[in-house]
Amino acid sequence: MHPSLANHLHDECSEYIDDLHRCHEEYPYQKFLGKCNDSKLKLMKCLENETLKRRRENRKIAMEGIEKTRKFRETIKTPK
């Protein structure tokens, strides 16, 4: 299952999305027999790369937030 294939959601994969839609329009019945599989595989690889990139960016942001929180907690620690 892939995410929504709206072009505005996937800037990097828009050409693959257009290619898959075009293939489905040109071959309405042959798409069920594998005519558009190459287009779909290219799109899926692009979407996977996009997801991994977004995951790395989110992880970086999360780690920065954790570090910021850790530093803040160190400043408010009361001596025993």
Q: Is 45 within the bounds of a domain?
A: yes
pLDDT recorded at residue 12: 85
Number of domains composing the chain: 1
Residue 1 lies in a domain: no
Residue 41 structural domain: 9-76
The span from the CA of 34 to the CA of 78, in Å, is: 67
**If pLDDT is split at 50, 70 and 90, which confidence band does 8 have?**
low
Closest CA to 42 of 18, 59, 78, 58: 18
Q: Is residue 14 part of a domain?
A: yes
Confidence grade of residue 10 (pLDDT, cut at 50, 70, 90): confident
This prediction has a pTM of 0.70
On whether residue 26 sits in a domain, the answer given is: yes
Quick check: is 2 in a domain? no
